[in-house]
Amino acid sequence: MPQYHQFDALVVGAGGAGLMAALYASKGVNTAVISKLYPTRSHTGTAQGGISAALGNLEEDKWEWHAYDTIKGGDFLCDQDAVDIMCREAIDAVIDLEHMGLPFDRTPDGKISQRRFGGHTNNETKKPVMRACHAADRTGHMILQTLYQNCIKNNVKFFDEFQVIDVLIEDGKCNGVVAVQLATGEIHVFHSKATLIATGGFGKMWKVTSNAHSLTGDLPAAVLRRGLPLEDMEFFQFHPTGVYKLGILLSEAARGEGAVFINDKGERFMERYMPTLKDLAPRDICSRCIYTEIREGRGIGGKDYVYLDFRPEQINKYFEADGNPKRIDAHYLETRLPDIIEFARVYQGIDPIKEPVPIQPTAHYAMGGIPTDNDARVLADETGRIVEGLYAAGEVACVSVHGANRLGTNSLVDLVVFGKRGGIAMAEYCKQASFRPIHRDAAAKAGAAQLDRIRNNNGNERPHAIRKEMQAVMDEKVGVYRTGAGLEEAIDKIHELQARYKRIRIDDKGFKWNTDLMEAWELGALLDLAEVTAFAALARTESRGGHYREDYPNRDDVNFLKHSMVWKNGTITLKYKPVRITRIPPQERKY
Amino acid sequence: MFTPLITTARESLRYRGSGHVLWLLHRVTGLGVVIFLGTHIFGMSMATFNPPLHEAMLAVYKTPLFSVGEIVLAACLIFHAVNGTRIAILELRPALWDKQAVATRWSVIITLILLAPTIAVMAFKSISYYVTHGLK
Amino acid sequence: MASTTTVTPGRTVRKVQPIPQTRNRLELALWLFMRYSGLALVFLALSHFWMQHVLIGTHEIEFAGTQLRWGITGQPVTVEQVIWRAYYAVMLVLAVTHGINGVRQVAYDYFGHRPAIYKGLMSVIVAVAALISLGGIAALFMGAAASGGEAALR
Amino acid sequence: MKINLKIKRFNPETDKKPHWETYAVEVEPTDRVLDALHDVKWNQDGTLALRRSCAHGVCGSDAMRINGRNMLACKVLIQNIAKDGDTITVEPILGLPVVKDLIVDMEPFFAHYRAVMPYLVNNDPLPANGRERLQSPADRERYDDTTKCILCAACTTSCPSFWARGEYVGPAAIVQAHRFIFDSRDQAAQQRLEILSAQDGVWRCRTAFNCTEACPRGIQVTKAIGEVKEALRTGVIR
Ligand SMILES: Cc1cc2nc3c(=O)[nH]c(=O)nc-3n(C[C@H](O)[C@H](O)[C@H](O)COP(=O)(O)OP(=O)(O)OC[C@H]3O[C@@H](n4cnc5c(N)ncnc54)[C@H](O)[C@@H]3O)c2cc1C
Ligand code: HEM
Ligand code: SF4
Ligand code: F3S
Ligand code: FES
C-alpha cells in the first residue's frame, strides 16, 4: 500500500544545501527532509579544503575581490548579480556556521583561520590570498555534521533512506515528490506546497571521479523527464588532483599549503603555463596543463599521470624560489592535511611526506544543473518563467555562480548561501500558498510502475556492463579534451546503451533493500544526463572553462557568451539565454 | 532471555579485536574468584559453627582435583589482580591511555612473571605431598 | 568562556556542578569503589593467597593453624590474633562487596533487559552472599571452635 | 590474484536464518574489499545488499566485520588482509538488527547519538560586532580528535558491553558528547554529563578497547571516554 504524507515544505537531499534549506524553512513552516542516504553520509562530508569568504582575518580581503575571482575563474559565464550575492553573503554565512558550532581552525588571536586556494587572489597585487576558511582538511565534514546537529537541535523531521524517483509537476507547478522507502520497497507520496531539490552532483557518469557512488543525478533526470530544462550541462569540472586510477580527491588545499606539480623531468611545469599563480591556477587550467604534459610525453615514465609533490623540503625549496618567507615541516603538514596524507598512504601505499604522489585529473563537479533564480526558484525556460513551488540549491542547481568553471571552495559557499536563501524563500511562499490537489493514487502507481518495469524486465543485459561502457565513453570522449567527432561518437554510443538499457535484467526481484533495482534505476538517470551533456557539449563550438574543444580551442564571446538550456521531450532541444553581466566585462583569462 | 549472553559469548570468541580478550578474561576470572571466595568463606566459617564439616572441607582441599583447581585459582586471581591494577591506574589517569598497548603487554608479562614461581611452588608442594601421602 | 574581543591563549578550564541524581551518583561511587577496593585487594588478597596457598601450602593447612591465628571461641585473644582478625575482616568485606558488585555488573549486562529476572537473580545472589559473609564475620569474631582441634587429632 | 569472499547472507523475504555463501573473485592486490563486494554484486549476484557511498572512508556507510573485525570495506586493501587464494569473511556489524545481508538497522545507534545533545549550546548573545566567537588554538585543539567522527558505528558495534546490552549509549555517542563537552564555546556540559552518568552511560564502558582499535578515523575513543569519566569524577573540564 502506498503511503501518503503532507508537509508545507519538502527538502530532497540532506547534504549541505538541503540541511541549510531545511534549517531555515523549518523555522517558519512544517518541513521534512527526504534523503536516500543517512544525512551524515552525504557527499558534502567529503569536501576537504575549505569554504571561502572575504573575512580578511589574516590579510586584507574584500568580497568584491572574491566576486571578481569567481567571475574570472568561471570564464565570464557567471551571472554576475548572483555572484555578488554569493560573495557578499558568504561572510555572514560562514560566521553563521561558526555560531552554529562549526569547529573552524583558529588563528593565534582566536579568529577563523584561512588559507590559500586556487584562483583566489588579491586583485591589486594579483598574488594568492588567504580566503578559504577551514577545519583541518575536513571542512565539508564539519559543515555537514554541524548542520545535521542543528537540525536535530531544532527537531527537523527526516525521512532517511527514502529515494525520490519522481517529481509531481502539473500545469507548471510542483506539488511534491514520489519516493521509495529503501528498507521496505514501499512507495510514499509526499504532498507539499514547496519542494527544494538539493541532491548534489552526478559525476558517476564518468569512471575516474571524485564523486560518491550515490551521486547519480536522480532528480535532474526526473525533472528532465517531467519536461523541465537543465542548464549548462556541458560544463563539468575535472579536478587536477585525483588519486591515480581511483579518482579519490586530494584537495587543492595541498597546493594551498605549498604542494606543486612535477612532470617526468622533475620540472615544476605550471611555472611555464601560468607564471603568476603557478600551481594555484584554476582547476580547468591545471587539468589541461597536466594533460598537455602527458600528451607531450612528459607524464611519469611516459604514462598518463604526473606527480603532486608535497615533501616538506621540496615545498620549502619552492617557497624560497617564490620569495615566500614561510617554511614548513612534516608536522605542520600532518596537522593541516591529515586526511589527504592518509588517503595517499592507504590507497597508494605512498607516504607523501617522503615521496611524490601520482595524480590524474578526476571528474569532480557539475557547474550545470537545474536552472534557478537568485532565490533558488527553478526556472521553466530561457525567459526566466518560474516553476511554482519548485526550488533547487547546491551542486544540483545552476544559479549560475560558477559559470564555466568553479573556483575551489566556492561550492561550499554556494551551498550555504543559496541553501539558506532557498529555505527562506520556501517558507515565505508556503505561508501565502495553499496545497494544490494531487492524484495521489495515480502518482503512486506511476512511481511503482517505473520500478516494476525494471524489476520484472526479462532481458539479457547486465546493468553493470552498460554502466561500465557509459563511463568509459564519457571518460574518453566527454572528458577534459573534447572534439566534435568524439562527441558524436559518444552520443551514438549512449543511444546504443539506452536501447540496451531497455533490455536489462536484474537478479533481485524483492522489495526490501533492493539495491540491485535502485542501481539499475539510477543507471537510467545517468544515461539521460550523459546524453544531454554530450549534446550540449557538441553544440558549444568554443572552449571555455571546463569545456575544452580541441577543434575550437578559443573562447568565442561573440557566439557563446550565453548559457545553454537543454530539454529532452522525446528528442533533445537546445536553447540559449544570455549571461547577466553587471560589473565586470569579459576579458582574457590570464594568471 | 539468554540471547545477549549467548551472542556475547559466541561473538566475543569470534571477534578478532585484541582489547576484549583481556576484558573477557577479567570477567571470567573475577567470576571464578567470586565462586571460590563464596565456598571458601563458607568453609572457613564452619571452623566456628561446624568443625567436622570444616575438617571435611580441608580434606577435600587435599585432593589432586582440588590441587589443579587451586592452580587455576592462582592464575585467575593473579591475572585479575594485575589486569585490574592496569585498569584502575589507567582509568584514574586518562592521559595514560596513549600507553594502553604497552600497558596491556605489561599486564600479561607481569601476570606470567608472578604466576610462574607461584605455580612452580604449588605444583612442587602438591606433588611431594601426594608422593609421601599417596592418593586418597 | 570565549569573549568577543580578545581571547586568552592556552586552555580554558571549566567547572561543572556535582551530578545531582543519587542514582547516578551511586554508579559513580561504585565505579570508584571497584577501582580502589581492587587496588587494596592486590595487597590483601595476594598476600593471603601467597601465605596460605603457596608458602604454607594447602596440604599443610590444619585446623590448629586456624585456631592459632583466629583464637579459640570463648578464650581471650592475643594482640596478634586481633591483627589477624582485622586483616581478614577488611579483606572479607572488600572482597565480598567488590565481588558482589562485579556480579551485579555482569548480571545487568546480560539480564538487565529483563528486569524481573535481573532483580530476582540479584536478590538471590545478595541474600546468599550476605548469609555467607555474615557467617564469615561471625566466625572471625567468635574464633575457631575449641573442639575442632580434637577432631583433627583423631 | 584470486580470493574467496565468504559473505553472511540474509534475505528477509525468503530466509529465516542467515547463511554463508562463498564467491570466487579475481582482484588486484590494491583493490579495496568494497571493490571485491562490488564485483560480486555487479557480476555474480545482484541480490547482495550493502550500503556504501563515498568509497574512500569518509561517509561512514560501509562498516562491516571483515575477517572478524569491524572495518570500512572501502578503507581496507585486499593485500593487507589476504594472500592469493585466501578466503575473506564478511559479515554485518554486530549488536544491531540485521535487515538484509550486510545492512543493519542503524536507528538504535542514531537514537543514542541523538540522546547526548550532539549540538552546540551557547545562550550568550552573539558577539556584538557580528563576527565569530573567538576561541584560542589550544581550546580548539582540545576536542579536535573527536570532531573526526563519521558515525560509522564501527566502535559501538565492536564493544562487548554494547553486544551485551544495546541500551548502553556506546562509544560513538560518548565521542560525540566529548566533542561538545570539551568545546570551550559550549554551555551544556552539565546536562550532557548528567545524561552520561546514568546507569547505561559511560560507566558501562569496561575499557575493553575494541572501539579504539576499530575506529577507521583513528580517534582515541577509549581515551575520550576516559576524559568524560574524569570530568564526571572531578567536576572539572580541562
Ligand atoms: C572529494 C570532494 C571534495 C570537495 N572539496 C570541496 C571543497 O573543498 N570546497 C568546496 O567548496 N567544494 C568542494 N567539493 C564540492 C562540494 O563538496 C559539493 O559540490 C557539495 O558538497 C554538494 O553538496 P549538496 O548539498 O549539493 O549535495 P550532497 O552533499 O552531495 O548531498 C546530496 C544529498 O541528496 C540526497 N539524494 C541524492 N539523490 C537522492 C534521491 N534520489 N532521493 C533522495 N535523496 C537523494 C543524498 O542522500 C544526499 O543527502 C568537493 C567535492 C568532492 C567530491
Ligand atoms: C586482587 C586484586 C583485584 C583487583 C585489582 C581487582 C580489580 C577489579 C577492577 C578494576 C574491576 C572493574 C572492572 C571493570 O569495571 O571493568 C574488577 C571487577 C571485578 N572483580 Fe576484581 N579485583 C581484584 C580482586 C577481585 C576478587 C578477589 C574478586 C572476587 C571476589 C573479584 C571479582 C571481580 C568481579 C566479579 C568483577 C566484575 C567483572 C566485570 O564486570 O567484568 N576481584 N576487579
Ligand atoms: S568514533 Fe570512530 S568508529 Fe566510532 S562512529 Fe565515530 S568514526 Fe566510527
Ligand atoms: S569497546 Fe566498549 S567497553 Fe569501553 S573502551 Fe570501548 S566502549
Ligand atoms: S563508502 Fe563511505 S566510508 Fe566506505
Q: Hey, what amino acid is at D81?
A: I
Ligand 1 nearest-atom number relative to CA A249: 1
Distances (CA, A) of A536 to A107, A564, A575: 45, 7, 10
Please check whether residue A13 is in contact with residue A198, taking contact to mean a CB–CB distance below 8 angstroms. yes
What was the pLDDT predicted at C153?
A: 41
Residue B71 sits in a domain whose CATH number is 1.20.1300.10
Q: How far is the CA of A307 from the centre of ligand 3 (A)?
A: 32
Cα separation, C106 vs C116, whole angstroms: 16
What was the pLDDT predicted at C88?
A: 86
Ligand nearest to the CA of D51: 5
- Nearest-by-CA chain D residue for A136: D144
| Alpha helix ranges (H) inside A433-514 | 440-456, 463-477, 484-501
As for how many domains chain A has, the answer is: 2
pLDDT digits (tens, 9 = 90+) for A396-425: 999 999 999 999 899 999 999 999 999 999
Cα separation, D152 vs D157, whole angstroms: 10
Distances (CA, A) of A496 to A454, A489, A501, A527, D79: 18, 11, 9, 10, 38
Quickly list DSSP for A315-328: HHHHHHHHT-----
pLDDT digits (tens, 9 = 90+) for A4-15: 999 999 999 999
Ligand nearest to the CA of D76: 5
Q: Hey, what amino acid is at A361?
A: P
D183 Cβ neighbours under 8 A, 6+ residues apart: A101, A103, D120, D139, D142, D143
What is the residue range of A290's domain?
239-361
Mean per-residue pLDDT for A281-300?
Answer: 93
**Fold (topology level) of D2-104:** Ubiquitin-like (UB roll) (3.10.20)
Q: Is C20's Cβ below 8 Å from some Cβ in D?
A: yes
* H/E segment holding residue C118: helix C115-142
In a domain, A9, yes or no: no
Closest CA to A389 of A249, A584, A191: A191
Q: How far is the CA of B14 from the centre of ligand 3 (A)?
A: 21
Q: Which three cell numbers stand for residue A560?
A: 557563446
Closest CA to A239 of A86, A65, A117: A117
Has residue C149 got a pLDDT over 70? no
Kindly give the pairing relationship between strand A370-371 and strand A377-379. Answer: unpaired
In a domain, B81, yes or no: yes
Q: Alpha-carbon dihedral of residues A149, A152, A154, A157, nearest 10 degrees?
A: 130
- Whether residue A395 has its Cβ less than 6 Å from ligand 1: yes
**Nearest CB neighbour to C139, from listed B34, B49, B55:** B49
In a domain, A187, yes or no: no
Beta bridge partners of A360: A242
Please check whether residue D220 is in contact with residue B90, taking contact to mean a CB–CB distance below 8 angstroms. no
Could you check whether the bond before residue A400 is cis, i.e. omega within 30 degrees of 0? Answer: yes
What was the pLDDT predicted at C2?
A: 44
Confidence of residue C3 (pLDDT cuts 50, 70, 90): very low
Kindly give the pairing relationship between strand A357-366 and strand A386-392. Answer: unpaired
Contacts of A110 in chain C (CB under 8 A): 2, 6-7
What was the pLDDT predicted at A323?
A: 87
Has residue B21 got a pLDDT over 80? yes
Confidence of residue C151 (pLDDT cuts 50, 70, 90): very low
DSSP letter assigned to residue A414: H
Q: Which residue has the higher pLDDT, C23 or B57?
A: B57
Interface test with A, best of C7, C8, C11, C12 (most A CBs within 10 A): C7
Q: Which residue has the higher pLDDT, B53 or C71?
A: B53
Closest CA to C71 of C52, C90, C86: C86
- Whether A350 and A443 map to the same domain: the answer is no
Has residue C150 got a pLDDT over 60? no
What's CA D153's distance to the chain center, in Å? 2
Q: Which of A22-31, A165-174, A426-435, C52-61 has the lowest mean pLDDT?
A: C52-61
Please check whether residue A402 is in contact with residue A80, taking contact to mean a CB–CB distance below 8 angstroms. no
As for how many domains chain B has, the answer is: 1
What was the pLDDT predicted at D52?
A: 96
pLDDT digits (tens, 9 = 90+) for A169-212: 999 999 999 999 999 999 999 999 999 999 999 999 999 999 99
pLDDT tens for the 238 residues of chain D, in order: 999 999 999 999 999 999 999 999 999 999 999 999 999 999 999 999 999 999 999 999 999 999 999 999 999 999 999 999 999 999 999 999 999 999 999 999 999 999 999 999 999 999 999 999 999 999 999 999 999 999 999 999 999 999 999 999 999 999 999 999 999 999 999 999 999 998 899 999 999 999 999 999 999 999 999 999 999 988 899 8
Contacts of D46 in chain A (CB under 8 A): 506-508, 516
Q: What is the 3-state secondary structure (H, E, C) of C134-152?
A: HHHHHHHHHCECHHHHHHH
What CATH architecture is D107-234?
Orthogonal Bundle (1.10)
What is the residue range of B79's domain?
17-133
Chains that touch A (3 or more CB pairs under 8 A): C, D
Please check whether residue C117 is in contact with residue C57, taking contact to mean a CB–CB distance below 8 angstroms. no
Mean per-residue pLDDT for C42-61?
Answer: 83
Distances (CA, A) of C45 to B67, B74, C39, D4: 19, 11, 10, 51
The alpha-carbon gap from D13 to the nearest alpha carbon of chain B, in Å, equals: 23
**Residue A237 assigned to a binding site:** no
Has residue C154 got a pLDDT over 50? no
Q: Alpha-carbon dihedral of residues A49, A53, A59, A61, nearest 10 degrees?
A: 140
Contact C2 A109 (CB under 8 A): no
Taking the alpha carbons of C93, C96, C97, C98 in that order, is the dihedral positive or negative?
A: positive
Residue C21 burial (C-beta neighbours within 10 Å; 0-12, 13-18, 19+): exposed
In a domain, A390, yes or no: no
In a domain, A287, yes or no: yes
Residue A496 sits in a domain whose CATH number is 1.20.58.100
pTM for the full model? 0.94
Has residue A229 got a pLDDT over 90? yes
Count how many residues are written for chain C: 154
- Nearest-by-CA chain A residue for D45: A507
What percent of chain A stands above pLDDT 90?
A: 91
How much is the CA Rg of chain A, to the nearest whole Å? Answer: 23
Confidence of residue C152 (pLDDT cuts 50, 70, 90): very low
Confidence of residue A503 (pLDDT cuts 50, 70, 90): very high
pLDDT digits (tens, 9 = 90+) for C9-40: 778 888 887 766 666 788 899 999 999 999 99
Q: How far is the CA of D171 from the centre of ligand 4 (A)?
A: 6
Structural domain boundaries in chain D: 2-104, 107-234
What was the pLDDT predicted at B1?
A: 60
Q: Do domains D2-104 and D107-234 have the same CATH topology?
A: no
- The three-state secondary structure class of A443 is helix
Kindly give the pairing relationship between strand A31-35 and strand A51-52. Answer: unpaired
Contacts of D144 in chain A (CB under 8 A): 103, 136
Q: Is D158's Cβ below 8 Å from some Cβ in B?
A: yes
pLDDT digits (tens, 9 = 90+) for A374-383: 999 999 999 9
Average pLDDT across chain C, whole number = 82
What was the pLDDT predicted at A194?
A: 97
In a domain, A430, yes or no: no
In a domain, A156, yes or no: no
Using alpha carbons only, give the angle A144, D223, D238 rounded to the nearest 5 degrees.
Answer: 85
- Whether residue A306 has its Cβ less than 6 Å from ligand 1: no
Has residue A300 got a pLDDT over 60? yes
In a domain, B85, yes or no: yes
B75 Cβ neighbours under 8 A, 6+ residues apart: B29, B115, B119
Average pLDDT across chain A, whole number = 95
Q: Which protein residues are within 6 Å of ligand 3, measured from CB?
A: D 149-155, 171-172, 175, 214-215, 217, 219, 221
Q: What is the 3-state secondary structure (H, E, C) of D45-105?
A: CCCCCCCCCCCCCCCCCCEEEECCEEEEHHHCEHHHCCCCCCEEEEECCCCCCEEECCEEC
Q: Which three cell numbers stand for residue A118?
A: 586556487
Q: Active-site residue A283, yes or no?
A: yes
Q: Which three cell numbers stand for residue A539?
A: 553544440
Contact D222 B100 (CB under 8 A): yes
In a domain, B6, yes or no: no
- Whether A341 and A452 map to the same domain: the answer is no
Please check whether residue A372 is in contact with residue A390, taking contact to mean a CB–CB distance below 8 angstroms. no
Using alpha carbons only, give the angle A298, A301, A307 rounded to the nearest 5 degrees.
Answer: 70
Please check whether residue A424 is in contact with residue A22, taking contact to mean a CB–CB distance below 8 angstroms. no
Please check whether residue A580 is in contact with residue A240, taking contact to mean a CB–CB distance below 8 angstroms. no
- Whether residue D55 has its Cβ less than 6 Å from ligand 5: yes
Between helix D170-181 and helix D189-196 the angle, nearest 10°, is: 160
Residue A353 sits in a domain whose CATH number is 3.90.700.10
- The three-state secondary structure class of D130 is coil
**Residue A311 assigned to a binding site:** no
Using alpha carbons only, give the angle D207, D210, D212 rounded to the nearest 5 degrees.
Answer: 90
Cα separation, A138 vs D57, whole angstroms: 12
Q: Which of A252-256, A262-266, D109-113 has the lowest mean pLDDT?
A: A252-256
Closest CA to C109 of D204, A158, A512, A522: D204
What was the pLDDT predicted at B100?
A: 80
The alpha-carbon gap from C101 to the nearest alpha carbon of chain D, in Å, equals: 13
The alpha-carbon gap from A110 to the nearest alpha carbon of chain C, in Å, equals: 6
DSSP letter assigned to residue D118: -
Q: Which of A303-307, A497-501, C11-15, C101-105 has the lowest mean pLDDT?
A: C11-15
**Residue A50 assigned to a binding site:** yes
- Whether residue B110 has its Cβ less than 6 Å from ligand 2: no
Residue B82 burial (C-beta neighbours within 10 Å; 0-12, 13-18, 19+): buried
What was the pLDDT predicted at A355?
A: 94
Q: Hey, what amino acid is at A23?
A: L
Contacts of C9 in chain D (CB under 8 A): 136-138
pLDDT digits (tens, 9 = 90+) for B127-136: 888 888 876 5
Residue tagged 582515541 (cell numbers): D220
A463 Cβ neighbours under 8 A, 6+ residues apart: A501, A504, A506, A519, A520, A523, D42
Has residue C63 got a pLDDT over 80? no
Of the residues A131, A283, A500, A555, which is catalytic?
A283
Mean per-residue pLDDT for B62-88?
Answer: 91
Cα separation, D167 vs D199, whole angstroms: 10
Beta bridge partners of A5: A190
What was the pLDDT predicted at C41?
A: 95
